[in-house]
Chains A and B, each alone.
Chain A
Amino acid sequence: MRKMFSRRMTAIAVVSLLVASALPASGQAPAERDITVVNIEFEGTKVWVPAIIVAKKGEKVRVKMINKVKSDPNVHGFAIPDFNVKVDVYRDKPETVEFTADKAGLFRIWCHLHPAHLPGQLLVLEK
């Protein structure tokens, strides 16, 4: 019985250590950022609005994508390869993707389904 209790305490200690190491130095959960982008068509050109999204390094970013383009095709892509983000967004079928902005810099956003269009940028700021 005492042995089992000891094992359980050891397991709790290990898990606590792992969780602590995943948290920022302050010990708090990473900040979260919610962003919504909408795909629209203006005079024949399709764009994500806003085309430039901004986050701070370390933030957990949640992007909601809404495709409001009425013309064909019925789907467009939203990809940020540097963060392994790649989502097919169908017309009027919102999608949400989450990633951690674990590096600072300027990163390319584009539609991975069609010839390079819907260009955008993700700017991740140092703290």
Chain B
Amino acid sequence: MPAQDSTTLVREGKRVYLANCAVCHGESGDGEGPGAAQLAVKPRDLRTGTFKFRSTPSGSLPRNEDLEATLVHGVRGTGMVSQRHLSQAERQAVIAYLKTFSDRFATEQPQASVQVSAPPPLTSAVIARGRRIYEKAQCAECHGEGGRGDGPSAPTMKDDRGLPIAVPDFTRWPLKRAYEPQALFMTIATGLSGTPMPSYSDALEPDEIWALVRYLESLAPPHHRRSLGQQLMPGDETIGHKIEEDARRASKSQ
């Protein structure tokens, strides 16, 4: 892309960012915007260049499509609400701008996406195998015996900023990112950067990860599953919607 086009894109991205993102992520990207104080799950500090939801291996930067997926889907149950109202051009622009917050994007290239193999059929044998892998991989230490996020180490889990982390309850779907099984495969394979959740791509073969995913799916009874259109559940953080609405209203009145 010519330099002029890149500058224009970043300038447009800044406009989109200030209108839609800065209220929580802050004008400098430090995650300390005026809305941040109201959120239980604190906004990402974009200056670190560390992103949880990637398709790339542990330690790698995310690809543009990873960042766009988070913009489109949001992070369910947190203040990071879907930014579907942005056009694709606006999304590309804001991605270009948010990448200016961290030097990592200037000096490193994101690695190739981890390949998600074809899922195995959902059988009781696969689920039973997944249960054994859950035990072998010591998932219960954080996620609990029943997958409810209540393992012995769960209460003290922290992210890189020292902020407490809520370990997900696998009996309620969709999860923060995992609105489909392939996304959960990706989380297990790539880990969640900046958190205690490691990548299991060295420890587990793809068919083992799939068995684990199938087991975790089996923990959610049908009435706990929600479609993407029904994102809010009891305990979810709803303030993100209100913050966003207030910011839009304020921006229109100016």
Residues of A within 8 A of B (CB): 44, 71-75, 77, 86, 88, 90-91, 112-117
A74 adjacent to B160 (CB under 8 Å): yes
A88 adjacent to B156 (CB under 8 Å): yes
B196 adjacent to A115 (CB under 8 Å): no
Number of A-B contacts (CB under 8 A): 55
Of all chain A residues, the one with the shortest Cβ separation from B193 is A72
A73 adjacent to B153 (CB under 8 Å): no
Please measure, in the bound complex, the distance between the C-alpha atom of A5 and the C-alpha atom of B185, giving whole angstroms.
Answer: 72
Please measure, in the bound complex, the distance between the C-alpha atom of A86 and the C-alpha atom of B200, giving whole angstroms.
Answer: 22
In the complex with contacts A72-B199, A73-B191, A115-B58 CB distance below 8 A:
no
In the complex with contacts A71-B58, A72-B198, A73-B198, A114-B138 CB distance below 8 A:
yes
Interface residues of B, count at CB 8 A: 27
**What secondary structure prevails in chain A residues at the interface with B?**
loop
Contact with A along B46-68 (1 / 0, CB 8 A): 00000000000011000000000
Cβ of B195 under 8 Å from chain A: yes
A115 adjacent to B138 (CB under 8 Å): yes
Contacts of A75 on B, CB cut-off 8 Å?
A: 157-158, 196
A113 adjacent to B199 (CB under 8 Å): no
Partner of B137, one of A74, A88, A90, A114: A114
Cβ of B252 under 8 Å from chain A: no
Residues of B within 8 A of A (CB): 58-59, 136-138, 141-142, 152-153, 156-160, 191-200, 202-204
B58 adjacent to A88 (CB under 8 Å): no
Contacts of A115 on B, CB cut-off 8 Å?
A: 136-138, 200, 203-204
B138 adjacent to A112 (CB under 8 Å): yes
B196 adjacent to A113 (CB under 8 Å): yes
Q: For the complex formed, measure the closest distance between the CB of B190 and the CB atoms of chain A, giving whole angstroms.
A: 9
A90 adjacent to B158 (CB under 8 Å): yes
Please measure, in the bound complex, the distance between the C-alpha atom of A75 and the C-alpha atom of B137, giving whole angstroms.
Answer: 16
B195 adjacent to A73 (CB under 8 Å): yes
